[in-house]
Chain A
Amino acid sequence: DSGVTQTPKHLITATGQRVTLRCSPRSGDLSVYWYQQSLDQGLQFLIQYYNGEERAKGNILERFSAQQFPDLHSELNLSSLELGDSALYFCASSALTGGAGLFFGEGSRLTVL
């Protein structure tokens, strides 16, 4: 158990809809990262937050947005969903002192029908 909690584990929705994925980082971690993993694809970095502020942006679509709240949990909002958005979405957090890399949650599997 990495200590990173993601909900929901599974989500099925229709094209055009909007969903919200939630992540609670490990206790004490201030950084939260979101990654997308499509079938047979690697891990694509979407966005990072540090203590409530956006720190780095990767290949995140304009239809997607994220935020980190004062209690450090984060939400990834996916809107106007398309079939191609079906993927595993992972959240990760990292320790303030560094050296131990990223700790990933178990992911949220999104299926867009």
Chain B
Amino acid sequence: QQQVKQSPQSLIVQKGGISIINCAYENTAFDYFPWYQQFPGKGPALLIAIRPDVSEKKEGRFTISFNKSAKQFSLHIMDSQPGDSATYFCAASSYSGAGSYQLTFGKGTKLSVIP
């Protein structure tokens, strides 16, 4: 069964704090791990992604940490801002060529950043 388990389901963080969302996967064939950010009434938007040959990727305040042996990856949002309040989805994918991704999503984490 291809599953991606995401936790926590919801998260409240003070402005300026660090938000951490964790995901675990089972299928070792996954080779691409994106994070999506979704605001209410909008579609998910790709935030940051990592491939399993690196252990960390940083883009601005967003960092993905990847542990291949534990089959876990996490999203860290540094200096969290109220504008970061959204639902975050992790995903795991295997690329089957010709632009075809088989994405499996976690159930999402609703992040609220309070002033």
* B108 close to A101 (CB less than 8 A): no
Chain B count of residues within 8 A CB distance of the other chain:
25
Q: Is B102 an interface residue (CB 8 A)?
A: yes
- Expressed in whole angstroms, the minimum distance between the Cβ of B95 and any Cβ of chain A is 5
A101 to chain B: which residues have CB within 8 Å? Answer: 32, 34, 46, 49, 93, 101, 103
Which of B14-22, B37-45, B57-65, B68-76 lies on the face that meets chain A? B37-45
List of B residues within 8 angstroms of A43 by Cβ: 44, 89, 105
Least CB separation from B107: chain A residue = A42
Q: Give chain A's interface residue range (CB within 8 Å of chain B).
A: 20 to 34
- Bound complex: CA A104 to CA B91 (Å): 14
Chain A residues within 8 Å of B106, by CB = 42
- Docked Cα-Cα span, A100 to B89, in Å, equals 16
Least Cβ–Cβ distance between B87 and chain A, in angstroms: 9
Indicate which residue in A94, A97, A104, A106 contacts B101 across the interface (CB closer than 8 Å): A94
Bound complex: CA of A98 vs CA of B95, how far in Å? 8
Q: What's the minimum C-beta distance from B60 to chain A, rounded to whole angstroms?
A: 18
- Whether A48 and B105, one on each chain, are in contact in the complex, defined by CB atoms closer than 8 angstroms, is no
Residues of A near B101 (CB, < 8 A) are 31, 94, 98, 101-102
Interface digits, A64-103 against B, CB 8 Å rule (1 contact, 0 not)? 0000000000000000000000000010101111101111
Tally of A-B Cβ pairs under 8 angstroms: 67
A48 and B43 in contact (CB under 8 A), knowing A41-B107, A42-B89, A42-B107? no
A30 touches B93 (CB 8 A): no
Query: Is there contact, CB below 8 Å, between B44 and A96?
Result: no
CB 8 Å contact bits of A99-113 with B (1 = contact, 0 = none): 011111111000000
- Taking the complex as formed, is B98 at the interface, i.e. its CB lies under 8 A from any CB of chain A? yes
Give A97's nearest chain B residue, CB to CB.
B99
Task: Please tell me if the beta carbons of B100 and A31 are within 8 angstroms of each other in the complex.
Answer: yes
Q: Is the CB of A102 within 8 A of B100?
A: no
- Residues in B whose Cβ lies below 8 Å from that of A94: 99-101
Determine whether the beta carbon of A42 is less than 8 Å from that of B43.
Answer: no
Which residues on B are within 8 Å of A, measured CB to CB?
A: 32, 34, 36, 41-46, 49, 89, 93, 95, 97-108
